[in-house]
Amino acid sequence: MGNLVLIGVVGNYYGWKGEFNFILEYRKIEALPYGMKVKIGYSPNFSEEYTIEHFQKKNNRAVAKLVEINDKEGIEKLRNQGVFADEEEIQKHNSKFISSNTIVGCKVIDIANGNVLGEIVEIWELPANDVWLVVTDFGELPLPVIEDVIVETDFANKLVKINVIDGLLDLTHNRGAVDED
């Protein structure tokens, strides 16, 4: 396996034949095909390899079954452990998937003047749209991931070009700062 990313956590068993609730880390994961290899453990280095038998997405969670596990006791042993998979393998089967490893560290550039505004340090998956938290010289800027703002992404070169819409920079704040009003 190549670059392993955390894609979810093993939840409670689902039924009696080794199925389990798969708590997804990325809502854009729609498919994990039969035969796909995953690692389950507390970290990629302390994990064991398993094979996906089936995977079914249900809203923000999924139900999955591993070839190697056929009862609820087997799932109980894996409960609350991370599920790691090869990033390229996930992207092959999920065209909208972009791992946080790809986004975090990108420089954010204002297309109007070419200035670097800051660097993406965190990703928030929210119901309406994702938000990328950018650290700027003026504080933290929650950057909405919407068409009006994100103009171009060049993840290979760690660059994101944006359109600074009216009021966007007003969202910048210093973490821990206290208003003196």
Is residue 177 pLDDT above 60, yes or no?
no
Contact between 49 and 111 under an 8 Å Cβ cutoff? The reply is: no
Domain finish residue from 97, 127, 160: 97
Domain count, the chain: 2
Whole-number pLDDT of residue 138: 87
pLDDT in tens, 28-69: 788 899 999 999 999 989 999 999 999 999 776 799 999 999
Count of residues for the chain? 181
Domain finish residue from 79, 97, 115: 97
The structure tokens listed for 119 are 């660097």
pTM: 0.69
Contact between 118 and 168 under an 8 Å Cβ cutoff? The reply is: no
Domain membership of residue 176 (yes or no) is no
Taking the C-alpha atoms of residue 50 and residue 84, their distance in angstroms, rounded to an integer, is 10
pLDDT in tens, 118-172: 999 998 888 788 899 999 998 999 999 999 999 999 998 999 999 999 988 888 8
Domain extent at residue 55: 4-97
Phi-psi region of 20 (alpha: psi -120 to 50; beta: other; left: phi over 0): beta
Nearest-CA neighbor of 28 among 97, 126, 104? Answer: 97
Whole-number pLDDT of residue 40: 95
Please identify which residue in the block is written with the tokens 């009216």. Answer: 166
Is 72 strand, coil or helix? helix
